[in-house]
Amino acid sequence: MFKRILIANRGEIACRIIKTARRLGIETVAVYSEADRDALHVEMADHAVLIGPPAAAESYLVIDKIVDAARKSGAEAVHPGYGFLSEREAFPKALEKAGIVFIGPNPAAIAAMGDKIESKKAAARAKVSTVPGHLGEIADATHAIKIAGEIGYPVMIKASAGGGGKGMRIAYSESEVAEGFARSKSEAKSSFGDDRMFIEKFIVNPRHIEIQVLGDKHGNVIYLGERECSIQRRNQKVVEEAPSPLLDEATRRAMGEQAVALAKAVGYDSAGTVEFVAGQDRSFFFLEMNTRLQVEHPVTELITGIDLVEQMIRVASGEKLSLKQADVKLNGWAVESRLYAEDPYRNFLPSVGRLSRYRPPDETVLDGITVRNDTGVFEGGEISIYYDPMIAKLVTHGPTRAQAISAQSNALDAFVVDGIRHNIPFLAALMAHPRWRAGELSTGFIAEEFPEGFHGVAAEGAAAERLAAVAAAIDHVLGERKRSISGQKPGRAVTRERRRVVKLGDAELTLDIAREADGIAVQFVDAKGNSGASRVLLSSWKPGDPVWSGLIDGAPAAVQVRTILNGFLLAHHGVEAKTYVYTEREAEAARLMPVKVAAGAGKQVLCPMPGLVVSLAVAEGQEVKAGETLAVVEAMKMENVLRAERDGTIKAIRVKPGDSLAVDAVIMEFA
């Protein structure tokens, strides 16, 4: 077994690998760019080596710098994590030349399966069912349009070296092929240093299901069940689960055996993932193979009890797999949510800045429910513009799918992140979505269920009552606290009205509230004064706590609490609402207050997120039509196209390609 390994990565995956290495008694070496000098993975590792400037192309993607760091630090082996150099054939070759072991598959397997074009050719030779498409390289947009016409729309444009949703576009027309090809090619070049593209038929209403394989250097290969990764946005996975609610045992075995056969055909000898696109009828087609550890590997670890990082390390050191296929048993259900630094209310635009508060739920194993949080950040740390916007991966495991989802929902509600925008409200709403809970999934789920984007969940029905009850309970605790301040003048005892009016967004709910032993009882009242539903709340919440955590009618619940002027901003199960608690007299006065309306941007085009200007598609004095491309801004490795919202004439352009912009910086003005 190795005594010291280097981790050629950053963020949560570097921290994840360090945890397993530490458990195995292996010393770790972190590498870091200047932007990551104070990063969590640097602090966790036993040793750390600076490898260059913030840009990945000048640090984490430079093979010579990684090899040099491994040599100088005395590392016997290197784990690449995912992304960066993990699927670059030249990397293990360079390590081998330096006498250092690569904790991953052999270079030949990476060449055969890591390249999406070559992997499809290999799959076709192995008689694996593949999606119709063009397996050769595509010269330019004109060539792409011709091929798309031959295959038939819709088509998927993909980078051969792509991954993580980068360099991918779905196109339904010639114009979309032309623009999608250019954007995908540019993204692939900047993210992977390889801009080769291919095109394949896009299967309508598909599901994305992948098989985890594990091989050793002695010819043994097994599969560890499947993961469903159909909940995607911009072709990037958002929520994953294992097993899949679609598959039966026969289909699982067929997919697994096909994945193993393919892996054996190329001499695969590490952890890898064979991805399939599946129809709702359980038909499936080979998509690609990822010759590395997947982001979503924790869900497989939780249902199998197998530490994939440990297995990769043992295999790389020459050990045989200690498991046979018959030893692999799937236990329960696991769900993983990817927490991203992005604003779901502004079309998921990236958000950067300092984490003024970062307090994940406790990692526990209790009553058959596991809560796990894989992260690479900490309170006070920064989310950088240079890298992927992932904050953490929240994973829950339970005996059934419903229990795993319920645990995930509660954990998301308890997850505190302040200082930046994040996608927890969207994830929380998704967990409560009836179609998700029913397992009726497809890769178009988000586009179909949120066609106009995400605008929160309306506070109505039982959800509104829960939030109103919590708001009233918080207000009651604050009132009790004020009345218990010492040093007050003696006099008549203060009595407080039981009746309260809770303004929740645009709605008002009337209720009576009173202390009952350790709990607080809430009774809702209708417009005629008749009693309605009642709630009993029990919590140890105190002023300043960012989460109200407790029981509502005996069921556990967590509600995010932020103080705003004269009220609270509450969030629960995807419902986020400004909430005010009034006496009836105060409510009458509040209804008379004028509503302040925020001013718009007028005739200016503002940068929606911090980013880099890639290109400008217009010039001063040019007339444009609604929907036309104005500019392309890159942030966190994704290129974002800014389009005209209406017809007009460009009066002035305030930026140039290469400029680094802050959020809301003026890009151009209309006449």
127-142 tens-digit pLDDT: 888 887 886 778 899 9
The span from the CA of 223 to the CA of 258, in Å, is 10
pLDDT score at 129 = 84
pLDDT score at 152 = 87
Using alpha carbons, select from 194, 252, 250, 204 the residue that is nearest to residue 228.
252
Residues recorded for the chain:
671
Question: Does 288 participate in catalysis according to the annotation?
Answer: yes
Whole-angstrom CA distances from 384 to 352, 390, 507 are 6, 10, 39
Given pLDDT bands bounded at 50, 70 and 90, which one contains residue 193? Answer: confident
pLDDT score at 171 = 94
**165 compared with 631, residue with greater pLDDT:** 631
108-111, long-range: CB within 8 Å, 24+ apart, which pairs?
108/266, 108/267, 109/266, 109/267, 109/268, 109/269, 109/270, 109/272, 109/291, 110/291
Which residue reads 């802050």 in tokens?
662
pLDDT score at 195 = 87
pLDDT score at 164 = 67
Q: Is 70 exceeded by the pLDDT of residue 660?
A: yes
pLDDT score at 601 = 60
Sheet with 4-7, strands from edge to edge, namely 47-52, 27-33, 4-7, 77-79, 101-102
Helical segments of 82-238, H only: 90-97, 107-109, 116-125, 141-151, 174-192
Lowest model confidence (mean pLDDT) among 9-13, 442-446, 486-490, 506-510 = 486-490
C-alpha 460: how far from its chain's center?
A: 28
Question: What's the whole-number average pLDDT of the chain?
Answer: 93
Q: Is 80 exceeded by the pLDDT of residue 665?
A: yes
Cβ-based neighbour number of residue 617 at 10 Å: 15
pLDDT score at 119 = 81
pLDDT score at 600 = 58
Q: Is 70 exceeded by the pLDDT of residue 353?
A: yes
Using alpha carbons, select from 2, 233, 178 the residue that is nearest to residue 101.
2
Cβ-based neighbour number of residue 625 at 10 Å: 10
Lowest model confidence (mean pLDDT) among 126-130, 357-361, 544-548, 612-616 = 126-130
Q: Is 70 exceeded by the pLDDT of residue 464?
A: yes
**Dihedral (CA of 580, 583, 584, 586) sign:** negative
Q: Could you tell me the pTM of the whole model?
A: 0.84
pLDDT score at 78 = 98
Pairing of β 197-201 and β 133-134: antiparallel
Burial (0-12, 13-18, 19+ Cβ within 10 Å), 487:
exposed
Q: Is 90 exceeded by the pLDDT of residue 487?
A: no
The span from the CA of 51 to the CA of 34, in Å, is 8
The span from the CA of 539 to the CA of 552, in Å, is 9
Given pLDDT bands bounded at 50, 70 and 90, which one contains residue 599? Answer: low
HEC states along 271-340? EEEEEEEECCCCCEEEEEEECCCCCCHHHHHHHHCCCHHHHHHHHHCCCCCCCCHHHCCCCCEEEEEEEE
Specify the DSSP class assigned to residue 19: H
Q: Is 90 exceeded by the pLDDT of residue 485?
A: no
pLDDT score at 346 = 86
Q: Is 90 exceeded by the pLDDT of residue 365?
A: yes
Ordered structural domains, the chain, with CATH: 4-103 (3.40.50.20), 121-131+207-331 (3.30.470.20), 132-201 (3.30.1490.20), 338-447 (3.30.470.20), 461-483+496-590 (3.30.700.30), 604-670 (2.40.50.100)
pLDDT > 90: percent of the chain: 76
Residue 63 DSSP SS3: helix
pLDDT score at 122 = 86
Using alpha carbons, select from 218, 188, 207 the residue that is nearest to residue 278.
207
Mean pLDDT of 49-62: 96
Residue type, 538: L
| Helices and strands (H and E) in the chain: how many | 17, 40
Using alpha carbons, select from 622, 470, 448, 628 the residue that is nearest to residue 549.
470
Mean pLDDT of 236-260: 96
Q: Is 80 exceeded by the pLDDT of residue 239?
A: yes
Q: Is 80 exceeded by the pLDDT of residue 598?
A: no
Question: Which tens digits make up the pLDDT trace of 368-414?
Answer: 999 999 999 999 999 988 898 899 999 999 999 999 999 999 999 99
Cβ-based neighbour number of residue 360 at 10 Å: 21
**Residue of 12, 76, 226, 288 with catalytic role:** 288
pLDDT score at 192 = 82
The span from the CA of 642 to the CA of 617, in Å, is 10
Mean pLDDT of 84-112: 96
